[in-house]
A and B are shown apart, each in its own frame.
Chain A
Amino acid sequence: MISKEDVSQIAELCKLSFDDVENDGFIKEFEKVLNLVENIKEADTSDIEPTYQVNQYKDPFIGDEVEESLPQKEVLKNTVEEKYGYFKILKVVD
């Protein structure tokens, strides 16, 4: 069962906040999703090796060769504020 606290914690991890009405809405939605997943648990997988891929994926690599990066101007194009070529945001210290 999903509790109000579960929703608040997930919201906090996403740096989001909701009011009580919104919270209750999420409880219902989360439960719906979880109930759906519960169905999968009914399958017996005790003798089955995990499947990591279903495609015959052979050479998914890139070579270790340098290619040109974007010009700094392009990189910063969509930012609201920049300073000395850096993205500038309000101070955040972890």
Chain B
Amino acid sequence: MRYKTIIGLEIHVELMTDTKIFCNCTNEFGGEANSHCCPVCLGLPGAIPRLNKRVLEYAIKAGTAFNTHISNHIKMDRKNYFYADLTKGFQTSQNEIPICSEGYIEIELEEGTKKVHLQRIHIEEDTGKSIHTENDETLLDYNRAGVPLIEIVSKPEMNSAEEARLFLENLRATLKYIEVSDCKMEEGSLRCDVNINVVDSETGQKTRISEIKNLNSFRSVVKSIEYEEERHIDLLKKGENTDKETRRWDEVKAETVLMRGKAGASDYRFAVEGDIPPFILEDTFINEIQNNMPELPHEKKERFISQYDLSSYDAGVLTQSRDLAAFFEDTVKNINDTKLVSNWIMGDVLRRLNEEDLEIDSLKFGAKALADLISLVKDGKINNNTGKKVLRDMFDTGKDPNTIVKEQGLIQISDEGELEGMIDTVLDENEQSIIDFKNGKDRAVGFLIGQIMKKSRGKANPQVVNKLLLEKLKER
């Protein structure tokens, strides 16, 4: 590969605290415009911010999950810039001493595990939200002003869109596991900026870094990286270079668009935040958090492999979210057959959820109901196909599987006498198939089984039908 892509990511994550970072206004998403505001988050003169302790707790949790060094010194800085969504004319952030530094996130590549290192994680406040209308006006809502954020900055160590995607997936899964953020990109609680440039390994020439903003899904992160990669390489090939600039991803046109050049760009004139004096965190506070970390995704995956005897792939799928893993474990508690349970969840359950773009917590039935359904199939009370049909009903109505089976009379027919009657009728109706069978056309058997299943309205036990049919065909 002549051209090497270099990618660094900056991720803003809104923390799931109850209140904002410097005041006691609610941190609830949405709400009527400007109804979650007070003198502190509005930046009114004389208002004094005080730090929400849980913000530190969550930042330390995230820092621990990503193997960072945690700083005892807590110091806030003012990042000055003028924009209407910033009430005070500066954002209270951390510049000089981030609460977490260094650390790494591991991603699984075909050639093995790769460590992508982090530069830092720091805490800061979110800004208000502006809406630009068609009548040349901007409307401002400060409900989001002061919502606690952590900003996670990676080192420029990713070399493809795929690596960036894996990094983000690991990051999101981990943050959701440790319950510091819901990471909903569509609500803006996880936002990602990409820094990218390309090096020509033959000439050593580098393009200048582009920063891409406005990425609201992992898909657009991947697409924009692929687009920029090509743009940078094309310019290098022509002997030209990119400009150091900020670009925006245009979802409709599927291309990046220039937002602003970086020459003469913002000078944030960082200054100490005098309203929040620096202080030293007690070791006990940090240790307490670190000693009570919940199970992380890779730990849960290892446990699933050893405890439930699952393949690495299956364990990986089932532990992709904490809720899904819990659903699996709850189901297994009710029916002790890990292989069957993982097949049902990874097959029909996940397929349906993916089709409808839903998460496991939006299921209308619980783990106990799924276990009951699997038991019905396992005990031969309904056949596998009927089981799938019952599951579809459970998705739609949330009804209990035993109720569905009873209401629709779906109990499997295994009684040989009853089945023989059906088989005889079908054979009488399809003499050509009998001739085909005698002439060695095996397909005829499949056709006949289909007819018998139809006659039984799907309730016949396929194994018994198969056995009886072959006997009967030989007799004829």
Chain B residues whose C-beta falls within 8 Å of the C-beta of A89 in the assembled complex: 84, 137-138, 140
Partner of B276, one of A14, A60, A91, A93: A60
CA distance A52 to B137 in the complex (A): 43
Partner of A87, one of B22, B73, B136, B139: B139
Interface centre among A52, A66, A69, A70 (most CB of B within 10 A): A69
Chain A residues whose C-beta falls within 8 Å of the C-beta of B42 in the assembled complex: 70, 75
Contact A66 B25 (CB under 8 A): yes
Chain A residues whose C-beta falls within 8 Å of the C-beta of B142 in the assembled complex: 75, 87
- With A83-B137, A91-B136 given, is the CB distance from A9 to B267 under 8 Å? yes
Contact B52 A62 (CB under 8 A): yes
Partner of B33, one of A58, A71, A85: A85
Chain A interface mostly: loop
Is residue A55 within 8 Å, beta carbon to beta carbon, of the partner chain?
yes
CA distance A40 to B56 in the complex (A): 34
Chain A residues whose C-beta falls within 8 Å of the C-beta of B83 in the assembled complex: 92, 94
Q: Which residues of A (8-54) have their CB < 8 Å from a CB of B?
A: 9, 13-15, 52-53
Chain B residues whose C-beta falls within 8 Å of the C-beta of A92 in the assembled complex: 83-84, 130, 138
Q: How many A-B residue contacts, CB cutoff 8 Å?
A: 124
CA distance A59 to B54 in the complex (A): 13
CA distance A63 to B137 in the complex (A): 38
Is residue B402 within 8 Å, beta carbon to beta carbon, of the partner chain?
no
Chain B residues whose C-beta falls within 8 Å of the C-beta of A87 in the assembled complex: 34, 139-142
Contact B50 A52 (CB under 8 A): no
Contact A85 B53 (CB under 8 A): no
Contact A15 B82 (CB under 8 A): yes
CA distance A69 to B36 in the complex (A): 6
The interface of chain A, by Cβ under 8 A from chain B, is 9, 13-15, 52-53, 55, 57-58, 60-67, 69-72, 75-76, 83-94
Nearest first, the 10 A-B pairs at minimum CB distance are A86-B139, A67-B24, A52-B278, A61-B53, A64-B54, A85-B33, A87-B140, A57-B279, A91-B136, A62-B50
